[in-house]
Amino acid sequence: MDEAIANPQLFQEKVKAVLKFAVANEGQMDAEANAHFDRVMNSFADMFEQGLTNAADSPDKRRMLRAVAGVKRKHHRAETFLKRLAMPLPVPVPVAELAKPIFLDAHQSVLDLLWDAARHSQHGVAQFATLGLLYWAFDELTVAFYLAERRYTTQAYAHLRTVHDLLDKAELFFQQPQWADIWGGHDKEKILKELSPGAVRKKLGKPKVDPVYSFFSELGTHGTYGAMRKRVTQTGKKEGKPQVAMRIGGTPWDSEVQIAVACCVFTALSTLLTIGKVYETRLNLLEVVSILQARFARAGQFLQEHFIEPAGKSGLDTSALTGTLKDLLAGLESIAVKSDQTRSKDGDTAR
């Protein structure tokens, strides 16, 4: 053992041999055996760490200390996090599991309506841009939910923020196609000035400050203190000072996952509604209304039961979400009215 401590290469080989044995035999080891192995490895690591205490600082010592910390699960390997993203969820969050079929229904409807819209030829920059932006929004929603259910809520919010950018641009290019020419041009300064998120909302007649967009910005992209707090846990106190742990690999709290998946659900509804408004002449409005009503009813019940009511009881401000839902419902009602008018007109023509 002393020889291994004195020889960095030998130390690494010893640790690798033990770890290789554990990995190869993990399937045959019961819980008690695995727990015993963990205790042995921790003792093994403590011994090496103690032996390194008085060693002079050097690159070898630092590499060995990191290896010891890895054995004690206080240091990590980057490949582990990448592999984990491709693995089944180790411990699913119950509310996220309830949200998934609701989200997927809305998400599938996004694809269905876009398929109908894409059957028509696209003419000009504005039509090309609008369709491309809405398909782009679909990808962002896919990634957002995938990350949210895996506890990467900060990253999920960043993608949801992008969806709102894309939806506003798609709506603007539909209403005022001349701006698509600016968007597809080479004047970067003009693009930034005229097509920033706030400028786009202003052109659409919307409030310059969108509380939902601001929420996603604060928790997903702007590096705020509020977002940082969701990545830190207090582990205790030492000499009167708080000790904290910085979280990587996602948030440790189920409540944060619940909020993120709820945001995925209502952002999917926003996407559906935008598609209904933009492509009303290419879609069957009767079907669009039927789809929207079904998706809103199911999602609304879920959000009320699993997000709005619990958040209200805990003192969280849900006004941004409830306000957005009211706006979405108003948009749905507008499409429903147009559908009724179309049916009435068709009925008069038939008579």
| Residue with the larger pLDDT of the pair 55 and 295 | 295
- The pLDDT value given to residue 275: 95
Residue 329 falls inside a structural domain = yes
- The pLDDT value given to residue 142: 97
179 and 251, same domain (yes or no):
yes
Q: Does residue 306 register a pLDDT over 90?
A: no
258 and 174, same domain (yes or no):
yes
Residue 68 falls inside a structural domain = yes
137 and 61, same domain (yes or no):
no
Residue 208 falls inside a structural domain = yes
Confidence class for position 294, pLDDT limits 50, 70, 90: very high
Question: Mean pLDDT over residues 16-24, rounded?
Answer: 62
Residue 242 falls inside a structural domain = yes
Q: Does residue 159 register a pLDDT over 80?
A: yes
70 and 98, same domain (yes or no):
no
Contact 217/161 with Cβ under 8 angstroms?
Answer: yes
- The pLDDT value given to residue 6: 55
**Per the structure block, which two tokens stand in for 346?**
């068709």
- The pLDDT value given to residue 113: 95
- The pLDDT value given to residue 58: 83
Contact 316/255 with Cβ under 8 angstroms?
Answer: no
The per-residue pLDDT of the chain, averaged, comes to 83
291 and 222, same domain (yes or no):
yes
Please state which of the ranges 137-141, 220-224, 254-258 shows the lowest mean pLDDT. Answer: 220-224
Q: Give percent of the chain above pLDDT 70.
A: 81
- Cα separation, 234 vs 252, in Å, equals 12
41 and 151, same domain (yes or no):
no
Residue 108 falls inside a structural domain = yes
327 and 248, same domain (yes or no):
yes
109 and 195, same domain (yes or no):
yes
Q: Print the SS3 string covering the chain.
A: CHHHHHCHHHHHHHHHHHHHHHHHHHHHCCHHHHHHHHHHHHHHHHHHHHHCCCCCCCHHHHHHHHHHHHHCCCCCCHHHHHHHHHCCCCCCCHHHHHHHHHHHHHHHHHHHHHHHHHCCCCCHHHHHHHHHHHHHHHHHHHHHHHHHHCCCHHHHHHHHHHHHHHHHHHHHHHHCCHHHHHHCCCCHHHHHHHCCHHHHHHHCCCCCCCHHHHHHHHHHCCCCHHHHHCCEEEEEEECCEEEEEECCCCCCCHHHHHHHHHHHHHHHHHHHHHHHHHCCCCCCHHHHHHHHHHHHHHHHHHHHHHHHHHHHHCCCCCHHHHHHHHHHHHHHHHHHHHHHHHHHHHHHHHC
Question: Mean pLDDT over residues 225-246, rounded?
Answer: 81
| Residue with the larger pLDDT of the pair 173 and 72 | 173
Please state which of the ranges 92-96, 198-202, 322-326 shows the lowest mean pLDDT. Answer: 322-326
- Residue-range definition of the domain harbouring residue 12: 2-75
Residue 83 falls inside a structural domain = no
Please state which of the ranges 11-25, 266-280, 293-307 shows the lowest mean pLDDT. Answer: 11-25
Residue 89 falls inside a structural domain = no
102 and 136, same domain (yes or no):
yes
139 and 8, same domain (yes or no):
no
Please give the tally of structural domains in the chain.
2
182 and 316, same domain (yes or no):
yes
Residue 57 falls inside a structural domain = yes
Question: Mean pLDDT over residues 267-274, rounded?
Answer: 94
152 and 36, same domain (yes or no):
no
